[in-house]
Structure 1
Amino acid sequence: MVDRPNKPTALATTPGLPPQPQVNISHDAGRVSASLPTGETVDILLYGATVISWKDRAGNEKLWLSEAAKLDGSKAIRGGIPIVFPVFGQAPDHAATSKLPQHGFARTSRWELLGKSTSESAGMSDSSVKLDFGLSSASLSDDVKALWPYTFSIIYSVTLSQEGLATSIVITNDGEEAFESQVLLHTYLRIEDITTVSVTGLEGSAYIDKVDGAKLKSQSSTISITQETDRVYTPSTDPSQPVVITSNGEQVFSVVRDGLRDVVVWNPWTDKAMSMPDFEPKDGYKNMLCVEAGSVRDWTKLEPGEAFEGGQTISY
């Protein structure tokens, strides 16, 4: 046998793949659930494409969901992250949206799961899962089309990572007529005690105080919640500058916006919570705070073929 000086070495054994992010679809309940190998999870209903749960690796819930929330598609969901489009609240003086229900129709429409994508690494340090949902004018009921007869499509993406949760939206005018709209990611954050919470990052910002006759005011300092609060801020800083929620001086959430100029801060407090049938428990206002990224102070006009993009990233 000829002795070969450069013998080929044995092939190395192919290492096993690391655990992969998982996506499960419950067709009966219309729910999409995703989890990371490290334990983080997210649940989204196709009804409204509403995120109803987001948990960290230890199983701690990060979103507040009313115990009386209807998850059967019978009404808008109280809690989680509903999508507000094409109108924020009601706009009786805006002809195109004056007939629409509170907060529009996106949160009460059935969306379609368009697809999923994952990223992994051997060390799982950057594993994530992205879920894409779609809604278009073609999928709306005739009743809704009659109220808002524009041709559009929306792609809404929810990305779960170890660092946090990102939600983004792309709205495209697919028709031949321009339209105006508003959009808001109506995020209910779960907190331990509202009396210990402060919000920073909005200092120096103008805001509309909806509890005080829609007066225009300016935020001079850190925000503390001591009564019913319903404010629409237009921050003076770049959207990439975080709005930070702290409890007893320690950060519990950070919200970074992308393309969304406004921030709504809302807590119903005692009387308002008592007046809402689907807000349970009635003292649940102590354990939630809405910090909502959106574009709602003015109207965004989209000409035919134009698109609007915006999003937020919530970390803890």
Structure 2
Amino acid sequence: MDRRNKPSALTTTPAAPPQARFDILGDRVTAVLPTGESVEVLLTGATVLSWKGAVDGGAAEERLWLSEAAILDGSKAVRGGIPVVFPVFGKSPADLATSKLPQHGLARTSRWEFLGRSTSESDASSKASTNGVQLDFGLTWSAADPALKALWPFDFALLYRVTLDPGSLTTSIVVTNNETEKAFDFQVLLHTYFSVGDITQVNVDGLGGAPYSDKLEAFKVKTQAEGKVDFTSATDRIYQPEGGATQVLTIAEGGLPKYSVSRDNLPDVVVWNPWADKTKDIDDFAPKDGYKNMLCVEPGSVSGWQTLEPGDAFEGAQSITLL
């Protein structure tokens, strides 16, 4: 018999979207997305040691190069991954406040504080609906390496955010001057070591026509030929792309685009590969023929100096997308 008032079907509560797994083990912070993509950050230098990313639902693969001889106990800066360079790139002239600091400054050898994690929502156009994850790290002058902070006595604060989304990794940094009366000058750079299969098959697009300083020829200023940058020997250059910080760079291998690098408020790009003749002199570079499998493309602000007034802040970022 038909019933006049049949109960309607019970509605089901939608299941919560898959969440990232998160772990702190010793001095390493790790996050893993449900897709298998992951990031690992060492508290020394807030250095990204590993980024395993996938394209179009494929298996997650290591995207960063890390030396087999990298020092990970905090006694030395990490060779590989993404070290943070601050407040100086290279060595300073003797008349500058940063002149007493070692090469690349104090941030990459200081122990950072892990400030917490949060969810990164994928936008509607994303290839995957899985939420990402944001990891925040902080470093202040008072917490910096004691032996180094005395060499650059300015009250600063750094906030570094590592955001892992399906198919992309974003690293952003905020520099704040906490001094009440003194301004300070600084440089900043995200020293990204990309993993590649064969450096002789790699090129970088987006630098054609750009002026650059050739560090292998005493910083001689040159202009990059139009087209793509290829690699057949040691390369160490500071580029100023014609499109400024909005110029997107593409790293390709074997004619196929592999990485896209977008920058925000980081106008310079350092491109580095030591090649065989240079790796012999780098103790923590291993294997010695590892130059075949890496390329540094490093967004930063290093061709000049940023002046930060008391209470002011500077923010810059890079976003790497797998192609």
User: Where on the TM-score scale, by shorter chain, does this alignment land: which range?
Assistant: over 0.9
Please give the TM-score of this superposition, normalised by the length of structure 2.
0.92
Counterpart for residue 41 of structure 1: 38
Q: What is the identity, as a one-letter code, of the residue corresponding to 2:218?
A: G
| C-alpha displacement of 1:125 | 1.6
Contact 1:258 1:311 in 2 (8 A): yes
Aligned match for 1:201, one of 179, 203, 206: 206
Contact 2:120 2:165 in 1 (8 A): no
d(CA) in 2 for partners of 1:186, 1:151: 24
d(CA) in 1 for partners of 2:128, 2:222: 46
| C-alpha displacement of 1:306 | 0.7
Note the alpha carbon deviations across 1:240-268, whole angstroms, 9 max, x for none: 33111111110011111000000000000
Among the aligned pairs, what percent are the same residue? 58
Note the alpha carbon deviations across 1:100-153, whole angstroms, 9 max, x for none: 011001000000111111145799525110101000012124322210100011
Q: What is the identity, as a one-letter code, of the residue corresponding to 2:270?
A: V
d(CA) in 2 for partners of 1:257, 1:141: 29
Contact 1:82 1:187 in 2 (8 A): yes
Counterpart for residue 21 of structure 1: 20
Counterpart for residue 155 of structure 1: 159
| C-alpha displacement of 1:271 | 1.2
Count residues with an aligned counterpart.
Answer: 311
Note the alpha carbon deviations across 1:147-174, whole angstroms, 9 max, x for none: 0100011100000011210000000001
d(CA) in 1 for partners of 2:10, 2:179: 58
Q: What is the identity, as a one-letter code, of the residue corresponding to 1:81?
A: I
d(CA) in 1 for partners of 2:314, 2:196: 31
Correspondences of 1:207-218 after superposition (within 5 Å):
207-218=212-223
d(CA) in 1 for partners of 2:146, 2:39: 32
Counterpart for residue 89 of structure 2: 88
Contact 2:120 2:163 in 1 (8 A): no
Counterpart for residue 105 of structure 2: 104
Note the alpha carbon deviations across 1:67-91, whole angstroms, 9 max, x for none: 0001111111000000000000111
Greater mean alpha carbon deviation, residues 113-122 or residues 40-49: 113-122
Contact 1:188 1:290 in 2 (8 A): yes
d(CA) in 1 for partners of 2:130, 2:15: 18
Contact 2:207 2:249 in 1 (8 A): yes
Aligned match for 1:56, one of 53, 56, 64: 53
Q: What is the identity, as a one-letter code, of the residue corresponding to 2:215?
A: K
- CA RMSD in angstroms comes to 1.9
Q: Specify whether residues 94 and 200 from structure 1 end up closer, same or farther in structure 2 by C-alpha distance, changes over 3 A only.
A: farther
Contact 2:106 2:149 in 1 (8 A): no
Q: What is the identity, as a one-letter code, of the residue corresponding to 2:177?
A: N
Q: Specify whether residues 119 and 314 from structure 1 end up closer, same or farther in structure 2 by C-alpha distance, changes over 3 A only.
A: closer
Contact 2:17 2:130 in 1 (8 A): no
Note the alpha carbon deviations across 1:199-255, whole angstroms, 9 max, x for none: 110111110000112100011131111111000001110423311111111001111
d(CA) in 2 for partners of 1:105, 1:229: 25
Q: What is the identity, as a one-letter code, of the residue corresponding to 1:43?
A: E
- Give 3-state SS (helix, strand or coil) of 1:239's partner: helix
Q: What is the identity, as a one-letter code, of the residue corresponding to 1:105?
A: L
d(CA) in 2 for partners of 1:144, 1:226: 37
Note the alpha carbon deviations across 1:255-286, whole angstroms, 9 max, x for none: 11000000000000011111101000000000
Q: What is the identity, as a one-letter code, of the residue corresponding to 1:212?
A: E
d(CA) in 1 for partners of 2:39, 2:309: 35
Aligned match for 2:285, one of 279, 282, 298: 279
d(CA) in 1 for partners of 2:121, 2:178: 35
- Give 3-state SS (helix, strand or coil) of 2:99's partner: coil
Asked if residue 262 in structure 1 is aligned to residue 268 in structure 2, the reply is yes
Contact 2:117 2:134 in 1 (8 A): yes
Asked if residue 249 in structure 1 is aligned to residue 248 in structure 2, the reply is no
Q: Which runs of 4+ in 1 moved over 4 A?
A: 7-11, 120-124
| C-alpha displacement of 1:11 | 4.9
In structure 1, list runs of 5 or more residues that go unmatched.
Answer: none
- Give 3-state SS (helix, strand or coil) of 2:291's partner: helix
| C-alpha displacement of 1:8 | 8.0
Q: What is the identity, as a one-letter code, of the residue corresponding to 2:17?
A: P
Counterpart for residue 192 of structure 2: 187
